[in-house]
Structure 1
Amino acid sequence: MHDSPAHHDLQLDKYGVEYIFPRVKKAYINHNGYFLHYQDIEATAQSIARVFQKDADTYRRVARQWLHWYRDIILPDMYSAPTPPDIWEAEIRRKPGGAEFLRVALGYSPLEYANELFESDLVRIALVRGAVISEYDPATKGIPSLVFATMISWFAQKNAMVRGGTRQVAEGIRQVIEENGGKIFLGNGVQKIIVENNTAKGVILDDGREFYADRFVASSVNPVQTFLFMIDESHLPESVREKAANFKFKEQSIFRVFLCLKERPLFTMAEREPDLNHSLYYTIGYDSPTDMTRMMQQANEGLVPDVTGLSGGIPTIHDPSQAPPGFHTAFFSILAPFDLADGGPGKWNDVSRDVTEKLLAKLREYAPNVKDANIIGKFPYTPVDIEACIPDMMNGDICQGKVCPEQSGFNRPWAGMSQYRTCIDGLYLCGASSHPGGLAVGGPGYNAANAIAEDLKIEKWWPQYDATKIVTI
């Protein structure tokens, strides 16, 4: 989020949004070894060299290239409306390094790219993990911009956490809205979008209140709920109803356990490398990238995956404000299905405790001090809980729609609806179902705001996004 136009244009730092940049970004640990991502490229290279010198040399070479791709190609692509694939390719090819970027972005899956670049499984895992974080199947050929941005940012760009938790970003945006005359209604879903003469005229809330719009309605809700749940089908062409019905959600979601602790997890391997105890995030236990792809496959089949590895963080290491003095919080997660093969979504109530204990058992292999006596409280957060908490994340899909080549760029949510404008006049899409997709990047809202301003002839008070003024190389 710190690289996004939303942060800079809205001046969120004035509203309490403060970023923490820990020296160690991510730790990769298994029983055979470890390496660390630092904010500094050379420090990361030296850590990789302890694993495999040749991979360290490769990393030094590609990290600089990645930074240029990130600043000059990927961020400008994320923070602009998508163009048809042939036009997009021609525009990228004209940029310095564009031909090589296209060779990788179109010709490789993240798994293939990791295997080509690196020889150590531990370093390969790190690159593949960036795709998995983006809710992308690393075996799928093609690397969409948001996926590539996540892979690159962990390896070569700065990474941060928000002081006080990511909710502070939403809180900052709330203050911006209200200071400029807007009003937010908490705990009220939209029951219906009012459409008259093929024009969006307002909304009806779940509690029955009606609000009329002078100029437009913008929906950050996924297109299935926007078009099929909130708009009478008489207002929609059959082609739109069909495409909305066929919009894909990801086959797997996330199971996460949150911990309240007397003492933070301490890693046995930190006796060899103290920095391991000071990382922003952790990826633990995976021996090879195939461990991750196997977990994905199991989740796709409706199975709770074998807990061969897990990922998570200990926020209070870097932000003590997130717990009472002297105490800690932590979270760890695995991929998991929304719809369990044995019992469906409702089965999660029966199995969540057992899955929690399996995650804790894996964590204790590396941080044995996470004993029951150290745990004040533990809270399992299942894929079903995700949908219940945030209903537009259907099936627990945190990106509001599967991230795949056929639903990326000019095809997100589908070709013909990817410019944030819809078949209903005055109705716009501005959520993660639109380009560039989910995660906390602010891209869909920024791009939709540009489209709305252009259509309504509103003078833009914000500058055109220029990544060169934000990202330092």
Structure 2
Amino acid sequence: LAKAGLKTLVLEAKDQVGGGCGTEELTAPGFRHDPCASVHGAIQAGPILKELGLERFGLRYIFPDPLHASVFPDGSSLVTWRSVEQSAREIERFSPKDAAAYLRLVAFWDRHIRDVFVASRYAPPRRPGELYTLLERREAGFEVMRLMASSPLEVVNEFFEEEHVRLHVLKASLQGGPFPDQLGYGLLVFGTGSGARHSFGWAMPEGGSLELPLSLVRALRDSGGDVLTRSEAKEIIVEDGVARGVITGDGRRFTAQKAVVAGLHVRQVFLEMIDHRWLDANLVEAFQKVRTGLSEVVLHLALSEPPRYRADFGVDRVVHCHVPETMPDLLAAYAECRKGHLYARAPFQVFCQTLVDGTRAPSGQHVLNAGRYVPYDLSGRPESWREIKNQLLGEEIERVREYIPNVTEKTVLGKAVMTPLDIEAHDAMFYRGDIMGLGHVLSQEGHLRPHPSISDYRTTIRNLYLTGACTHPGGTISGAPGRNCALTVLGDLGLRVSP
């Protein structure tokens, strides 16, 4: 917006920009952890990094290779590399047939899914009829439709036979919290489960996730815009059905001549910030009933030495490791989540960014986080998380120690655990602890996200636009909701961005 010549002001509620894309000293001085988002793979697929020239403003990405690994209870491990062929050779240790299937799966992504995937994210959502018409005209379009309608578990079982391989691909496909048996999400196996990682890398900003929003602030100011921190927008001014500005919590009033763009949770905007006389009652009711997905428990550790896994292959250099447990355990864990319960042998994932980025911790020392998906309503009572938090910290360390035995009292220099309540308190976008803003279910995807009447980033109030994780294509660090919304605003104003 600023590059197009608009006088642009960002109001940030907190002391620091970033929201869920931040970096903080959570455990000990000098140890920089990402409380929420850590991987910036999705944004590599789109044009925003080059369009805004963020490298010029200090943003540097590290592309770890290997991409990720899985460590299993029997002591075996399986590694995915940036090279598809090298990854297939890893799978061949478990099953030559599955190695060939992996090559076919990634080739199908490259030929039939990749370009549709990217184009669909960096544009307003298509209506279902438009999408199916597009696919009908493409080679293998009907096969893409079939796979898209399937669940991740069905696709994994269709392609692979050996359990370690199935677990490895399935757990990677469930990044972000979908259920393994969730129909309509089969293409995740081709995306986050395999092909997208090979195509775009599993990138992390040098210095931590916060470096992305900091570079955006520098770029904004270079184009004449500005950011005000400690300036929480509490009310959207509406006059005669037109958004005219905002009022902050401390009473300051900011007038907008062209547009107000809300990068906030849809419930916050429509239930708290706008006088309901300007809103359709059905819209208000819909946002009172939005669905959320799973939340997380995340353990953060400051370590005096790098993690050393109990595994048969050298995974100690791998930044991102999954512990999928067994297939019965994985499926049981998600089934218990649906009931609001915890499962003792739940799968989890581990990040140790300092294996490739020494700026995040004192020399020779490391940051580590381990997270697993959990229900927000624990046994029907979200406040239960507060009651068990101290106990949970010790239990999560014990779980990690099963697979990383050198996580001991001697090597742990600092520790913290985030429950769903902590995640919800961290940022208003994470309603009910869902880091995706709204749950990724078919009733809240594409032209239905967050509601059919406002899915194109324009709201029912003139000059008021909505962006962020509650809009298409949803959560993750992609830049897509913001870019799509900005281009919509510029189009409505008859403007375009200068090269």
* TM-score calculated relative to the size of structure 1: 0.92
1:203 partnered with 2:203: no
**Are 1:278 and 2:317 an aligned pair?**
yes
What is the distance in 1 between the residues matched to 2:436 and 2:221?
27
Query: Are 2:395 and 1:366 aligned?
Result: no
* TM-aligned CA deviation for residue 219 of structure 1: 1.0
Contact kept, 8 Å, 1:77 with 1:145, in 2: the verdict is no
Quote the Cα distance in structure 2 between the aligned partners of 1:145 and 1:238: 36
Contact 2:191 2:197 in 1 (8 A): no
Aligned residues: 455
CA displacement, residues 190-235 of structure 1 (integer Å, 9 cap, x when unaligned): 2111111111111111111111101001111121111111111111
- Match of residue 463, structure 2, among 426, 434, 440: 426
Offset from partner CA, 1:370-421 (integer Å, 9 cap, x none) = 1111100001111111111101211111011010111111111122211111
TM-score (norm: length of structure 2): 0.87
Q: Report the Cα offset of residue 338 of structure 1.
A: 2.2
CA contact (8 A) 1:134 1:146 kept: no
* Alpha-carbon distance in 1 for matches of 2:272, 2:234: 8
1:62 aligns with 2:105: yes
Structure 1 position 253, deviation (Å): 0.2
Shift of 1:239: 2.0
Instruction: Please state if 1:255 is matched with 2:297.
Output: yes
**Corresponding letter in the other structure for 1:58:** A
Residues 3-152 of structure 1 mapped to structure 2, 5 A cutoff: 3-32=45-74, 33-106=76-149, 108-143=150-185, 149-152=191-194
The superposition leaves residues 210-268 of structure 1 with CA deviations (integer Å, 9 ceiling, x where unpaired) of 11101001111121111111111111011211221222122x20000100000111013
Q: Which has the larger displacement, 67-76 or 194-203?
A: 67-76
Deviation at 1:145, TM superposition (A): 6.9
Give 2:473's match in structure 1, choosing from 430, 433, 436.
436
Alignment RMSD (CA, Å): 1.8
Compute the displacement of 1:433 (Å).
0.8
User: Following TM superposition, by how much is the alpha carbon of 1:129 offset from its aligned partner in structure 2, in angstroms?
Assistant: 2.0
Which structure is higher in RCO with an 8 Å CA cutoff and minimum separation 6?
Answer: 2
Match of 1:382 among 410, 419, 433: 419
Query: Partner letter of residue 241 of structure 1?
Result: V
Distance 2:140 2:262 in 1: 36
Question: Which string of whole-angstrom CA distances, capped at 9 and with x for unpartnered residues, describes residues 140-171 of structure 1?
Answer: 11128778632344653322211111111111
**Pick from 249, 269, 286: which aligns with 1:226?**
269
Match of 1:459 in 2: 496
Q: Give the C-alpha shift of residue 178 in structure 1.
A: 1.7
Deviations 1:274-325 (A, max 9, x none): 2x1111201115111x433322232333323324331021110010110011
In the alignment, structure 2 segments of 5+ residues that lack a partner are 1-42
Does residue 327 in structure 1 map to residue 370 in structure 2? Answer: no
Matched, 1:161 2:204: yes
1:31 CA displacement: 2.2
For the 8 Å contact 1:144–1:408, the answer to whether it is kept is no
Q: Does 1:241 align with 2:284?
A: yes
Give, in whole Å, the separation in 2 of the partners of 1:145 and 1:297: 21
Alignment check: 8 A CA contact 2:59 2:206 kept: yes
State how far apart, in whole Å, the 2-side matches of 1:77 and 1:430 are: 16
Gaps of 5+ in 1: 463-473
Partner of 2:385: 348
